[in-house]
Amino acid sequence: MSRLPIFENCNKQTVSSVIAASKLYYLTLNHFLTGNRKALKGLLGDADGLCGQTKNQKSESFQVIAGLQGDAPELSLYYVRVADAACEMAGSIFQTCQPAYEYLKDKYMPFSEVQATELAELNDEMSLFFNTILHILKNRKYDNSSEEIRKQKTTVLALINIFQRKQLKRIKRQEVSTRNSMLYLNILTETKNIVLFASGLVKANRNFYRTVSEKQPAGVY
């Protein structure tokens, strides 16, 4: 089985998944903070669709592996890692969207102005993070990808840690309800998961690409 078309198809699916995840994450926080329950319900359906799409890709990976195992077992490993990371990332997007929708549906008190400001800042940083990943994947700029992603990841994770501590202080001062705290901390936890899974996705895709490139006959590129 030709390896280059396999990578091209895998990369196309990966880019599509990251674009969808980026859009869903951004709009989930935006619609939640503006109280747009109807729009958030629609996003929940889209998030479920992304989960189904990535699960299908993961299921199809077994057929791809069967074609690769003969002379390129390492490619099989990278392909599976790409599919796994995409699936996990989509799951965390869904786990961000669903509780947010349920919160609005049950008409709990909106987040405070301070919490809204914090999540808006986090949303902006996540947009930068996703844009960095998409630039790397679309243009195959893997040479400095580890350092670029590390910088973005460090910024987002540091922000999450700060906001977690602030929320815990609000809980201690009894400024927020239990449901408020559960949702806020869930958003932070799932955001952290998204960052880690998306970073792993790029790493696996990079390794897949490099291995394919090394094994291509002369004149292919």
How much is the pTM?
Answer: 0.91
The 8-class DSSP code of residue 176 comes to: S
pLDDT at 128 over 70: yes
d(CA 9, CA 15): 10
The 8-class DSSP code of residue 141 comes to: -
Q: What is the mean pLDDT of the chain?
A: 89
Q: What is the pLDDT of residue 220?
A: 31
What is the DSSP track for 174-186? Answer: T-S-HHHHHHHHH
**In this structure, are residues 151 and 86 in contact, taking their beta carbons and an 8 Å threshold?**
no
Give the CA angle between residues 44, 110, 89 to the nearest 5°: 30
**In this structure, are residues 198 and 18 in contact, taking their beta carbons and an 8 Å threshold?**
yes
Confidence of residue 100 (pLDDT cuts 50, 70, 90): very high
Architecture of domain 3-215: Up-down Bundle (1.20)
**CA dist 40 → 33, 47, 94, 105, 185 (Å):** 10, 10, 11, 10, 19
**CA dist 37 → 43, 104, 108, 177, 190 (Å):** 10, 6, 12, 20, 20
Q: State pLDDT tens for residues 142-157.
A: 887 888 899 999 999 9
Domain segments of the chain as ranges: 3-215
